């Protein structure tokens, strides 16, 4: 039995985490859920959006499944998600984007896995006023050899383990010669250790265009924090949006799996919430635990429901059903 911290989050978070835990239980996953709190609702109740009890639970159990969080204004955090990533050094943000049956998209046969460095770049928040009166501000991006080696190696190791053919490193070394230039230099060094994997590098603006023109040419992508944040959402858009793509944040000693879409408070409690993104994140969690066969069994059930039971799906993915009908349809297939 694996202990896993469960943070439902805000808005639709409770509904989609309930759906996902129901599906995993129906599939026979041996998980002991450790319920914890974080987010805007927790802040309103306790005065702290990220309670010490939640941090302690993560320190103890090291694996988290997290629903969408709303960071309350004035709570002292830029982002609760960023705080958790930095606290536990979850340097590797992994965002798969794969075409799904019956999901409306002009693209087909997309199968991209994007690795984003999760702890450096502009997101460290090193900002200051040069002249506050004249509204002149500066922000510092940090790139180090250690962090770059970790994320690039993680991308190549994933490619090797999953028999992927190519790794594309995305940068802006023509302009940002020291920071992303260093990232590119290290990528070239590491690529030599994986001769069986094709390596290419692309400048970020060309990469964005190429992903829209012909996304099928890409396999594994690795890049820095800001570029990864933007390109991973773009990749999700190629296959139907943030509601159908999972995400993992993995470090050397801890891992957090999450839905990256918003908490959607406008539809909370109405049975309209789509749990697919969090479910796919949970499947990444199962794979992290080496439960590959179980993850594939659940994924196959989801694909079958999308293909053959469309009416049971939620409206955002073309169905006429509810969170419950979608969940029940997946669970029914898992019961065979």
Give catalytic status of residue 123 as yes or no: yes
> Does residue 172 have an active-site annotation?
yes
Helices (H) and strands (E) in the chain, counts: 11, 12
Phi, psi angle pair for 236, to nearest 5°: -60, -40
Tell me, what's the pLDDT at 269? Answer: 92
CB 67 within 8 A of CB 270: no
Q: Model confidence over 233-248: pLDDT tens digits?
A: 999 999 999 999 999 9
Encoding tokens for residue 123? 């997101």
Identify the residue whose tokens are 């984003």.
Answer: 116
CA atoms within 13 A on the CB side of 320: 2
Q: In 3D, which of 297, 307, 295, 256 has the Cα closest to residue 83?
A: 256
**Three-point CA angle 216, 95, 292, nearest 5°:** 95
Instruction: Tell me which of 172, 201, 326, 328 is the catalytic residue.
Output: 172
% of residues, the chain, pLDDT over 90: 83
* pLDDT value of position 335: 87
CA distance 115 to 21: 26
Higher per-residue confidence, 134 vs 161: 161
Query: Does pLDDT of 225 surpass 60?
Result: yes
Average pLDDT over residues 114-133: 88
pLDDT at 226: 94
pLDDT value of position 47: 85
Q: In the prediction, which pLDDT does 86 show?
A: 86
- The whole-number average pLDDT for the span 164-169 is 98
CB 158 within 8 A of CB 169: no
pLDDT of 76 over the 70 cut: no
* Cβ-based neighbours of 29, under 8 Å, separated by 6 or more: 286, 291, 294
Cα–Cα distance for residue pair 10/306, rounded to 1 Å? 26
Per-residue pLDDT of 140-161, as tens digits, reads 999 999 999 999 999 999 999 9
Query: Can 205 be counted among the known catalytic residues?
Result: yes
Cα distance between the two ends of the chain: 23
Q: Choosing from 66, 91, 98, 123, which is the catalytic residue? A: 123
Phi, psi of 135, deg, nearest 5: 55, 55
DSSP string, 147-211: HHHHHHHHHHHHHHHTT--EEEEEE-TTTSTTHHHHHHHHHHHHHTT-TTSEEEEEEHHHHHHHH
Looking at the predicted structure, is the pLDDT value of residue 105 above 80?
yes
Q: Which of 30, 205, 266, 308 is catalytic?
A: 205
* Alpha carbons 298 and 17: distance in angstroms, whole number: 16
Q: Mean pLDDT across the stretch 157-167?
A: 97
- The predicted structure's pLDDT at residue 136: 94
Domains and CATH numbers, the chain: 1-98+239-336 (3.40.718.10), 106-223 (3.40.50)
Alpha helices in the chain (DSSP H): 13-26, 40-46, 52-61, 80-87, 145-161, 179-191, 204-213, 225-238, 276-288, 292-308, 323-334
- Residue 136: Cβ-neighbour burial (10 angstroms; 0-12, 13-18, 19+): exposed
In this prediction, residues 5-22 reach a mean pLDDT of 96
Give the chain's radius of gyration (CA, Å).
20
Average pLDDT score, the chain:
94
Give pLDDT tens digits for 171-213. Answer: 999 999 999 999 999 999 999 999 999 999 999 999 999 999 9
From the candidates 10, 91, 98, 229, which is the catalytic residue? 229
d(Cα 39, Cα 41) in Å, to the nearest integer? 6
Residue 75 has pLDDT above 60, yes or no: no
């Amino acid at each position: 039995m694996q202990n896993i911290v469960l943070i439902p989050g805000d808005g639709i978070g409770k509904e989609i985490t309930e759906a996902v835990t129901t599906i995993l239980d129906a599939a026979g996953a041996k998980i002991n859920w450790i319920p914890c709190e974080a987010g805007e609702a927790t802040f309103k109740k306790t005065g702290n959006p990220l309670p010490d009890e939640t941090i302690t639970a993560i320190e103890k159990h090291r694996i988290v499944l997290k629903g969408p969080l709303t960071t309350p204004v004035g709570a002292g955090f830029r982002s609760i998600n960023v705080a958790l990533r930095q606290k536990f050094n979850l340097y590797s943000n992994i965002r798969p984007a794969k075409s799904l049956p019956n999901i409306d998209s002009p693209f087909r046969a997309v199968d991209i896995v994007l690795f984003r460095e999760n702890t450096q770049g502009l997101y460290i928040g090193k900002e200051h006023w040069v002249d506050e009166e004249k509204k002149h501000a500066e922000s510092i991006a940090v790139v180090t050899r250690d962090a770059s080696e970790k994320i690039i190696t993680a991308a190549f190791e994933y490619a090797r383990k999953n028999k992927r053919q190519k790794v594309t490193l995305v940068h802006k070394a023509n302009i940002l010669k020291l920071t992303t230039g260093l990232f590119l230099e290290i990528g070239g060094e590491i690529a030599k250790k994986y001769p069986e994997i094709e390596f290419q590098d692309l400048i970020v603006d060309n990469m964005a265009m190429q992903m829209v023109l012909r996304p099928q040419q890409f396999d594994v992508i690795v890049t820095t924090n800001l570029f990864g944040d933007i390109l991973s959402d773009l990749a999700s858009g190629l296959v139907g949006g943030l509601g159908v793509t999972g995400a993992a944040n993995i470090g050397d000693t801890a891992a957090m799996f999450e839905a990256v879409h918003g908490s959607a408070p406008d539809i909370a409690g109405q049975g309209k919430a789509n749990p697919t993104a969090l479910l796919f994140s949970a499947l990444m969690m199962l794979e992290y635990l080496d439960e590959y066969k179980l993850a594939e069994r659940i994924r196959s059930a989801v694909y079958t429901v999308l293909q053959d039971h469309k009416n049971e799906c939620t409206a955002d993915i073309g169905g006429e059903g509810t969170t419950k009908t979608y969940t029940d349809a997946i669970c029914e297939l898992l019961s065979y």
